[in-house]
Amino acid sequence: MSSSGPRPALFCLGSAAPDRVVTMEQPSTPLCLAVIIALAAPLFLIGLGSTALYDPDEPYYAVPAREMLQSGSWQVPLFRGEPWFDKPILFYWIVLAAYKSLGVSELAARLGSALAALGGLLAVFAFGRGMEQGRKGALVSTLVLATTVGYALAARAAVTDMTLTALLAAGMLAAARHLAGGGIRMAWLAGAAFGLGALTKGPVAILIPVVALGAYGLITRRADLARPRALAAAAGGLVLVAAPWYLYMALAYPSLLVKDFLESGNLGRFVHPEHVTFPFYYAVVLAAGLMPWSVALPAALVRAGGRSTRSEERTPGRHPGALFLLCWFGSVVLIFSAAASKLPSYLLPAFPPAALLLGSFWRQELPEETAARPRRPARLTALLGVPLALILAGAAVQTARGHAWDVVVPPTVALGALLVIGSILAALAVARGSLRWLTYTHCATTLAVLIALLGVVMPRLEPFHSTRPLVRELQAAGLNGQVIGTYKVSDVSLDYYLGRNPARHDRMKQVIDAVRKQPGSIWVVRTQDVDSLLAEPRFTAQLIHRGPSRSALRLSTASGFEAENR
């Protein structure tokens, strides 16, 4: 049955009729973009400022940007009144611009990430069209990326990873366009995008494309990657964008650039682990982060590395395809697997190429030109999504119990049930040969999971990961102005929600000296230290607020201790 006219984009993704040829209209580009934006808006923007800034990462960007706003300084990040160089300047500028436009808030701190996520979707759509997926195939790949749980959550976090991901996607898109005959201008744009990435997260934004494009050039033997004019244009774009600020930092703050940023920050994290991990850590990150689509990733990667793919992409002037995406994906995984420090968000730049590979895989397994029964490997791949969802759900529940997050165990079980039900429905859609219903199912699953996370799980986790609940309790009692310091607490969210920088102390002698100068003041402490501080003979301590992670005490020196020290 043929269509008599254009149909809505989401209804042009596939067919489930048993034994007949299907022809459908290609959705127009404006319609595809409208669908992308309509899906991205609720995923990335609704309730963006409703949850607290989570320690340890989000406040490290929100607080320096606010200090830059208050001081009128924009050249260098400021933290507790001092120049600070944990990350380069671009993301701080983005947050600062949002603060200037919208005021200081959680929403403003996260808006840059949400907009970068949308930019990443548009880059994937453009790349999909270029690699002959057509508008329909490009739309499928874009919807895959938008509805991976990890990408949707990262779009709602005030950290650098989403901005880096979008800029790398834009740079790789420009590099692909150059290889497809786009000329020197595209090479320059690729370099400029990577330069902006270097202003976001440092040298890794250059290392990833160098490894990816180098591997692609070696495998395909494409001489157009190494043409001097193209390399000079890319280098020129990178230097023009990134060099001025780095040169300024080298002249104005050489010790910050060398010791804090390069040695402690970049090289230090690469060599010395800062976070606890386990074997096959990033395999688990990909399986969970790319849910509900992740079960097909191994098959998509194997297909991308096939011999036919390599031979097809050796033609000069041809738009890069699956092998290019495999090199892009592999470079991210390889570089961050080699680093000693590992975090789930580090792999986010691998999500755009993974989404393009996944979209291409399902488009080939569930083609719209025929509604014949899908091949057995595709049906088996979809069925494996059910045990994968069960395993990830069980791991999430065990993690909650292991951290004593009892309040989130019931909703975590419900989240696991959503993933399992979604995987069952997805397997049924594949069995019917319907890419359309597979896409619907995964979109609905991700929306349901996000609603549960944002509406139930994250508010219950907030007291464990942010000091906002504690500060609100103190504000309600009119006591927030009496907080003068912390003991063994490094949470930067406290600076954000108090609106100032309380003194930090890790030694008891420091606390005693401060309390003697300001008796009766309030201190924020770890909840695990409350009982020992209440029993401390050198203090008279009053419990003001006890939270699951952080508590507040009013401290004065004991009268007997004061008499002994006169």
Q: What is the DSSP string of 392-417?
A: HHHHHHHHHHHTT-GGGHHHHHHHHH
| Residue 13 within any structural domain of the chain | no
Using DSSP bridges, classify how beta strands 483-487 and 521-526 pair: parallel, antiparallel or unpaired.
parallel
Question: Does residue 176 sit in the same domain as residue 190?
Answer: yes
Question: Does residue 426 sit in the same domain as residue 308?
Answer: no
| Residue 314 within any structural domain of the chain | yes
- Give the phi and the psi of residue 13 in degrees, each rounded to 5: -90, -20
| Residue 170 within any structural domain of the chain | yes
- Which of 430, 465, 500 terminates a domain? The answer is 465
Amino acid, res. 533: L
Q: How far apart are CA 293 and CA 288, in angstroms?
A: 9
Q: What is the DSSP string of 525-556?
A: EEGGGHHHHHT-TTEEEEEEEE-SSEEEEEEE
| Residue 177 within any structural domain of the chain | yes
Q: How far apart are CA 92 and CA 112, in angstroms?
A: 10
Q: How far apart are CA 172 and CA 170, in angstroms?
A: 6
Predicted pLDDT of residue 338: 87
Question: Does residue 82 sit in the same domain as residue 230?
Answer: yes
DSSP H helices, 261-318, are: 268-271, 281-289, 297-304, 307-312
Predicted pLDDT of residue 514: 92
pLDDT in tens, 499-527: 999 999 999 999 999 999 999 999 999 99
Question: Does residue 278 sit in the same domain as residue 397?
Answer: no
Collapse the DSSP code of 523 into the 3-class scheme (helix H, G, I; strand E, B; otherwise coil) and give the result.
Answer: strand
Question: Does residue 424 sit in the same domain as residue 479?
Answer: no
DSSP H helices, 18-89, are: 29-44, 59-71
Question: Does residue 311 sit in the same domain as residue 436?
Answer: no
Question: Does residue 430 sit in the same domain as residue 505?
Answer: no
| Residue 123 within any structural domain of the chain | yes
Q: How far apart are CA 290 and CA 297, in angstroms?
A: 9
> Residues near 378 by Cβ (< 8 Å), separated by ≥ 6?
365, 366, 430
Give which of 6, 9, 54 is closest to 32, Cα–Cα. Answer: 9
Question: Does residue 294 sit in the same domain as residue 413?
Answer: no
Provide the token pair at 516: 């003697």
Q: How far apart are CA 295 and CA 327, in angstroms?
A: 20
Predicted pLDDT of residue 87: 87
Question: Does residue 245 sit in the same domain as residue 287?
Answer: yes
Q: How far apart are CA 442 and CA 290, in angstroms?
A: 11
Q: How far apart are CA 451 and CA 377, in angstroms?
A: 33
- Which of 465, 490, 521 terminates a domain? The answer is 465
Question: Does residue 160 sit in the same domain as residue 272?
Answer: yes
Which residues constitute the domain of residue 239? Answer: 28-365
| Residue 210 within any structural domain of the chain | yes
pLDDT in tens, 68-79: 999 998 999 999
Provide the token pair at 451: 């609603």
Give which of 267, 40, 287 is closest to 139, Cα–Cα. Answer: 40
Establish whether the linkage from the previous residue to 30 is cis, with ω within 30° of 0: no
- Can you count the helices (H) and strands (E) in the chain? 26, 7
Question: Does residue 554 sit in the same domain as residue 532?
Answer: yes
| Residue 11 within any structural domain of the chain | no
Predicted pLDDT of residue 560: 57
- Which of 323, 342, 365 terminates a domain? The answer is 365
Q: Which residues of the chain have pLDDT under 50?
A: 1-24, 563
Predicted pLDDT of residue 309: 65
Number of domains the chain contains: 3
| Residue 21 within any structural domain of the chain | no
Predicted pLDDT of residue 316: 74
Q: How far apart are CA 372 and CA 503, in angstroms?
A: 69
Question: Does residue 411 sit in the same domain as residue 500?
Answer: no
